[in-house]
Structure 1
Amino acid sequence: MLRGMMMNEPLLVTSILRHAALYHADTEIVSRTTEGPIHRYTYADAWVRAQKLANALAALGMQPGDRIGTLAWNGYRHLECYYGIGGSGMVCHTINPRLFPEQIAYIVNHAEDRLLFTDLTFVPLLEGIAQELSGLKGIVVMTDRANMPESTLPGLMCYEDLLADQPGSFDWPDLDENTACGMCYTSGTTGNPKGVLYSHRSSYLHAMAACMPDVFGLSASDVVLPVVPMFHVNAWGIPYAAPMVGAKLVFPGGKLDGASLYELFEAETVTNTAGVPTVWLALLNWLDANRKTLTSMRRIAIGGSACPPVMIQRFREMGVEVLHAWGMTETSPLGLANMPKSKHAGLSADEALALAAKQGRPICGVRFRVVDGSGNDVARDGTSFGRLLVRGSTVCSGYFGVTESPAHQMVPGWFETGDVVTMDADGYVQIVDRTKDVIKSGGEWISSIDLENIAVGHPGVQEAAAVAVPDEKWGERPVLVVVRKPDSALTREELLAVFEGKVAKWCIPDDVRFVDGLPHTATGKLLKSEIRHMVTGPEGV
């Protein structure tokens, strides 16, 4: 085999920020801070501060391979963690603060995080689970000395104090590109959350794919505001993709209401953004109520859950292009992006909207298959459905700390997504159902099994099923269908009260429907498809 005669330069995330600092040095990074004011600096500044952070981590005794947790909103300090931690050969472990506190404690302990960087917002949350975080060597509050909180947490460190006396240059290690640089935990239908470990190579390639014209379509002339949080799947790769092309970055912090987002969109002339449908519904309603429109926005990427066609249409009426996308934590996350081909130029308005409502076609570097129950490929005709399988350089091969074979491997070498879909000849995928009965609300997963187990724990419940019902705001919401025990007078309010303190508030079912009996399969399992019909059908309970 004849090998190419090219330099072997590893694909490292560090080189992304270095590139931005060298050739887009004066491009701004704008952040709405947790403390309140708007913060501005440049890629050149971020590069220096990332190196200060790397030096600070070394001074604290952190070693290559150590997991360093973050519990933070989208902001410039969080960006510095992405690069300062990952570039040092450590793992930037972003943690979702919307999870129930017990889950957060489990994730921190399972990942064996040595340090935890937190925004001021989440200090009270950490105080509540501090006794469970025995493996942590310290907690760093991402603020300055003037805003350090009074807290019961032992040995709190101030982020700005850590950086203050450190050199602005760091001898970045010459890492293998397959070295881990990031981690995000995903929760499925059963069991504990599972960690997906991203490499420098996968994050670099994912960022390149995200920049493509038929995906986010980013360039140095763009202004990008990621609404999707940096604590969830690397904010869909935007913290790597935007510096790669030298686009201006705008971070919204934790204020994601319509008025706050509109203020930043207009003040910073934002051209590109990305987030889940729930956020966009709130923004659209605010725009309508206040008779406002988006004047600089060019493209909005929508994913996390299916985007309603009416939402696509409402943005199009403002002259904003909607990119419907699909992905999951295990795919870094981008896997599908929906942009039309030249052949679609003649479609009617209704046909174009129907096409845009699909999840999209595969981005380069990710391969998809749709198979039947035996693992055989189904016809790519847009109507035959099957299980969606995926593989590629940005797809996980297993979970952190899990030694057994991946559960999602119906066909060896392929990751089963858990979605039932159709695919047409052009590769456009449309999700029609889920192989598992997980409920997806506002882009977050809710386990139906967890809800059922809690419900059945009530002495007045004989049997219970949790199913998803469509919701205009959240995409889906959980509803309980319950069979009372004989002579039980259990009420809706009494049963819902049982969930308080057992799951996060947004996981609590919206309603309880009482029935005389529930349908079952031949093997005794609850027949969820029929139960959903019982709830959502024309004669629903």
Structure 2
Amino acid sequence: MIQTKLIPRTPEAYEPPMLIKNILAESIKYEPQREIVYRDLFRMNYTEFNRRTRQLANVLTGLGIKPGDTVAVLDWDSHRYLECFFGVTSLGAILHTVNVRLSPAQILFTMNHAEDKLVLIHEDFLPILEAIKDKLTTVDTFVLLSDKVYTDLNAIGHVPNGFVGEYEALLRDVSDHYEFPDFDENTWATTFYTTGTTGNPKGVYFSHRQLFMHTMGLLTYLIGYEAIPFKSRTDVYMPITPMFHVHAWGFPFLATLLSAKQVYPGRYDPEMLLKLLVTEGVTLSHCVPTILNMLVSSPAAQKFKAQLSRWSVLIGGSALTKGLAKAALDLGINVSAGYGMSETAPVLAVAYLNDAERSLPLDEQVEYRTRAGRISPFVEARLMDENGNFLPHDGQALGEVVVRTPWNTQGYYNDLERGAELWQNGWLHTGDVATISSDNWLVIADRTKDVIKTGGEWVSSLDMEDVLSQVEGVAESAVIGLPDERWGERPHALVVQKPGYSLTAEGIKETLQARIDRGEIHKWYMPDRIIFVQEIPKTSVGKIDKKRIRSDMKAQILS
């Protein structure tokens, strides 16, 4: 950095730090009567939410939690989780959002590695706790979370041995007066764990400043560009991305800042999700493609087409295929893609259509809506080759996406080696191969480890999945490359067909060959093998698990 002249400071002057408590404080300034809803069990307004958040801080303080201590949460998406987003962090403690979809052994590793001191756990996850409780090395306090208290008052106070109490009962018995303190904005606020292809899960962490700035970045997208279809005065927000996964992509912070109505669905059940969409008037959600595919494929989707037509959905985690996008648009759903990763808090790009692109017919807009997006405000993104050289943003050059933002994680907790790999050459390496156009569009070709190298060509498995999604009757697909003596690698595909169809591998190949003959797709896009399956293997956060698919298909071929 260059040498500059800093502004003079008056000793008495106050410079407020960027803290999560300041986001919370905005929520009761203008629309405190708006609601936060949990399934069909509980609702409150923002005044009550702020009161309960202060009560949570008193409960935690009374249980010995101090600034710098780590509090773990194992819960479904709920109002309680939202209270922890603010109540834990605003007293200076660290919130560990535990991925409940990991194996018990992985959950044990993450809780010991994060040095959790207190655990808030939903009763549905007690069997996991029983399997690992004796091996937890730093936890000394447990609090029970239960939905029964909203339907059966007699359930309050009935907690397992070793627990200090039930969440609602503990809140009820403490004061709602708590003054959240000021502290350094670089204070550690949250942590969670992301799994890779090898080794133990990696601990990602974020400061108050980073989460504050990520919220401001989302706000800029919302107000300045309207890339995120979210109008706080009229819209109703419901996440369908787990709150343990990158803070539900940061949107709960944004919704709270705007005091927008929020709906939390708990455990993801198609009937409950559709019920909440209709009865609560949900207008904005975000999810992985699997969830959207499940909803648009539901027989009830046509029944509720009028209500779905007011719904906007941002897709991330995996690529949004043109086939799925068209199916959603046919139901009137305003669908578009976004891009990011756990280490980037996560938003890096959102599919923003400019004035000219918005004027196109919907069928033509699909090309833009399914791209990773236009690079977000305050995000510096470049393409880098294997030697660390930058590549041009001409929409043609392929390179690894590297980024700098005000909200990137600074490393992995207690893992300097993998942190150094992440930040090689002073840029955060995403592991994604892409192009960037001169007008700021980011188009992901593939993960570096998933690009299929065949016959001297680089073939994108994501592009192949996109082509398969457009074959009538294909609900979902996954493409991986396997070793081939002649070509180096060849593509192989798993396909899930829609109900009522009787597809064959030969029929799909004939459809693809017709497109190849017309020059619409490259000849390399013909998979060697197409296998029909009931479902595509997924990771704990709903992404296609290509590591497992690759291993399983190799085993099939060898056998």
| 2:365 maps to 1:358 | no
Q: Which residue does the alignment assign to 1:181?
A: 189
Correspondent of 1:265 among 274, 277, 293: 277
| 2:248 maps to 1:235 | yes
| 2:169 maps to 1:161 | yes
| 2:61 maps to 1:58 | yes
Equivalent pair of 1:101/1:129 in contact (CA under 8 Å): yes
Q: Which residue does the alignment assign to 1:27?
A: 34
Equivalent pair of 2:194/2:342 in contact (CA under 8 Å): yes
Equivalent pair of 1:256/1:279 in contact (CA under 8 Å): no
Equivalent pair of 1:186/1:195 in contact (CA under 8 Å): yes
Compared CA separation, residues 374 and 86, structure 1 to 2 (3 A): same
In the TM superposition, 1:473-484 aligns within 5 A as none
Equivalent pair of 2:37/2:264 in contact (CA under 8 Å): yes
| 2:266 maps to 1:253 | yes
Correspondent of 2:408 among 391, 395, 413: 395
Shift of 1:150: 7.4
Q: Which residue does the alignment assign to 2:521?
A: none
Q: Which residue does the alignment assign to 1:193?
A: 201
C-alpha separation in 1, matches of 2:327 and 2:196? 33
Q: Which residue does the alignment assign to 2:105?
A: 102
C-alpha separation in 2, matches of 1:437 and 1:139? 41
Q: Could you state the TM-score of these two structures normalised by the residue count of structure 1?
A: 0.79
Instruction: Report the AA paired with residue 125 of structure 1.
Output: I
Shift of 1:470: 5.1
Q: Which residue does the alignment assign to 1:276?
A: 288
Q: State which drifts further: 137-146 or 228-237.
A: 137-146
C-alpha separation in 2, matches of 1:363 and 1:196? 21
Shift of 1:319: 2.9
C-alpha separation in 2, matches of 1:349 and 1:297? 16
Q: State which drifts further: 103-112 or 146-155.
A: 146-155
C-alpha separation in 2, matches of 1:361 and 1:29? 31
Q: Structure 2: give runs of 5+ residues left out of the alignment.
A: 452-460, 466-477, 481-488, 499-536
Compared CA separation, residues 124 and 410, structure 1 to 2 (3 A): closer
Q: Which residue does the alignment assign to 1:111?
A: 114
* Greater fraction helix: 2
Shift of 1:311: 1.8
* Number of residue pairs aligned between Structure 1 and Structure 2: 463
Aligned-residue Cα RMSD (Å) equals 3.2
Equivalent pair of 2:240/2:268 in contact (CA under 8 Å): no
Q: Which residue does the alignment assign to 1:125?
A: 128
Shift of 1:256: 3.1
Compared CA separation, residues 121 and 426, structure 1 to 2 (3 A): same
In the TM superposition, 1:31-430 aligns within 5 A as 31-32=38-39, 37-143=40-146, 144=149, 146-147=154-155, 154-211=162-219, 212=222, 213-257=226-270, 259-287=271-299, 291-295=303-307, 297-345=310-358, 347=360, 349-404=362-417, 406-409=419-422, 411-430=424-443
C-alpha separation in 2, matches of 1:305 and 1:149? 42
Instruction: Report the AA paired with residue 3 of structure 1.
Output: I
User: C-alpha offsets along residues 332-390 of structure 1, whole Å, 9 cap, x if unaligned?
Assistant: 01111002112324546554211221110111121111111112222222222111101
Compared CA separation, residues 47 and 282, structure 1 to 2 (3 A): same
| 2:28 maps to 1:15 | no
C-alpha separation in 1, matches of 2:312 and 2:420? 36
Shift of 1:267: 0.3
C-alpha separation in 1, matches of 2:346 and 2:66? 28
Shift of 1:408: 3.2
C-alpha separation in 1, matches of 2:204 and 2:96? 10
Compared CA separation, residues 153 and 326, structure 1 to 2 (3 A): farther
Shift of 1:412: 2.2
Shift of 1:270: 0.9
Instruction: Report the AA paired with residue 249 of structure 1.
Output: Q
Compared CA separation, residues 108 and 512, structure 1 to 2 (3 A): same
Instruction: Report the AA paired with residue 168 of structure 1.
Output: D
User: C-alpha offsets along residues 427-461 of structure 1, whole Å, 9 cap, x if unaligned?
Assistant: 211111212359999xxxx9x9xxxxxxxxxxxxx
SS at match of 1:226: coil
Instruction: Report the AA paired with residue 263 of structure 1.
Output: K
Instruction: Report the AA paired with residue 9 of structure 1.
Output: P
Shift of 1:473: 8.8
Shift of 1:515: 7.3
| 2:12 maps to 1:3 | no
Q: State which drifts further: 7-16 or 221-230.
A: 7-16
Equivalent pair of 1:223/1:269 in contact (CA under 8 Å): yes
SS at match of 1:196: strand
Shift of 1:514: 5.3
Shift of 1:426: 1.4
Shift of 1:215: 2.9
Equivalent pair of 1:115/1:138 in contact (CA under 8 Å): yes
C-alpha separation in 2, matches of 1:39 and 1:424? 47
Q: Could you state the TM-score of these two structures normalised by the residue count of structure 2?
A: 0.76
Q: State which drifts further: 78-87 or 397-406.
A: 397-406
User: C-alpha offsets along residues 156-198 of structure 1, whole Å, 9 cap, x if unaligned?
Assistant: 5311222122110112111111111111111112211111111
Equivalent pair of 2:159/2:166 in contact (CA under 8 Å): no
Compared CA separation, residues 411 and 151, structure 1 to 2 (3 A): same
Equivalent pair of 1:301/1:324 in contact (CA under 8 Å): yes
Compared CA separation, residues 45 and 426, structure 1 to 2 (3 A): same
Percentage of pairs with the same residue: 34
C-alpha separation in 1, matches of 2:87 and 2:319? 35
SS at match of 1:140: strand
Instruction: Report the AA paired with residue 24 of structure 1.
Output: E
Instruction: Report the AA paired with residue 105 of structure 1.
Output: L
C-alpha separation in 2, matches of 1:382 and 1:154? 59
Compared CA separation, residues 355 and 129, structure 1 to 2 (3 A): same
C-alpha separation in 1, matches of 2:361 and 2:279? 36
SS at match of 2:43: strand
C-alpha separation in 2, matches of 1:240 and 1:349? 31
SS at match of 1:197: strand
Shift of 1:405: 6.5
Equivalent pair of 1:138/1:157 in contact (CA under 8 Å): no
Instruction: Report the AA paired with residue 96 of structure 2.
Output: H
Compared CA separation, residues 410 and 64, structure 1 to 2 (3 A): closer
Equivalent pair of 2:157/2:166 in contact (CA under 8 Å): no
